Amino acid sequence: MNFLEQRIAKDGIVKPGNVLKVDSFLNHQMDIALMEEIGREFHRRFADKPITKVLTIEASGIGIACFAAKEFGVPMVFAKKSKSINIEGEMYIAEVESFTHKNKNQIIVSKKFLSSEDHLLIIDDFLANGCALQGLISIAEAAGATVEGLGIVIEKGFQIGGKVIRNLGYRLESLAIVDAMDPDTGTITFREQ
Ligand code: 5GP
């Protein structure tokens, strides 16, 4: 098991509805030493790419993306979830259905912060059905930017998102892939990588 799988096995809590809670170290309270290691690992995996910006989505992607961006020495941009739609023209907009909240949000990024010159690393905490990543990819495409790769901390391999994104031809790196989890026993099974 790698450093992250060990931590998930120790502190992750399996909830009904295919939800893994990691809020003691990743997305509510954050273990900063672990975040640094995650940032370094993303940098190691995408070191061959000419990354100019790291792109993520609020809220739980932000902390992770900061540590990755620091390793690359580039800015981090996060898509905001917005209810107002009257800003077209200045914003790139995509629609994203939330896995955890089951509602639809528009996500927006100001045109000031992404351009066709950019080579992006897209980062998020979880990959489930792939809606968040597809929204970020469509914003990158609208900007004419190049998506060099996508980095996920925890992919739930039994949900469809990983397959969808890889089938689109993108390089997707997940630091841990959970292939099965049982809310009754709390057992988490990782994919060998
Ligand atoms: P997707 O868009 O791939 O269906 O879902 C990814 C988004 O939903 C992530 O941004 C993450 O915040 C949230 N998410 C999906 N599955 C889980 C989960 O099992 N646990 C937690 N904490 N968040 C999840």
Is any ligand 1 atom within 6 A of the Cβ of residue 134? Answer: no
At residue 85, the pLDDT reads: 60
Best of 22, 27, 99 to mutate for ligand 1, by most ligand atoms within 8 A of CB?
99
At residue 102, the pLDDT reads: 82
> How many C-beta neighbours within 10 Å does residue 139 have?
25
The proportion of the chain whose per-residue pLDDT surpasses 70, expressed as a percent, equals: 97
User: If you take atom 8 of ligand 1, which residue's CA is the nearest one?
Assistant: 99
Buried b (16+ CB within 10 A) or exposed e, 21-56: ebeebbbeebeeebbebbbebbbeebeeeebbbbbb
pTM of the model: 0.97
Q: What totals of helices (H) and strands (E) does the chain contain, helices first?
A: 5, 10
At residue 120, the pLDDT reads: 99
C-alpha 127 to ligand 1 mean position (Å):
6
At residue 170, the pLDDT reads: 98
Integer Cα distance of 80 and 93 in angstroms: 10
User: If you take atom 4 of ligand 1, which residue's CA is the nearest one?
Assistant: 129
Q: Which amino acid is at 176?
A: A
At residue 189, the pLDDT reads: 98
Residues in the chain where the model's pLDDT stays below 70: 83-88
User: If you take atom 5 of ligand 1, which residue's CA is the nearest one?
Assistant: 128
**For the CA atoms of the chain, what is the radius of gyration?**
16
At residue 87, the pLDDT reads: 61
> Which ligand 1 atom is at minimum distance from the Cα of 127?
3
At residue 49, the pLDDT reads: 98
At residue 129, the pLDDT reads: 97
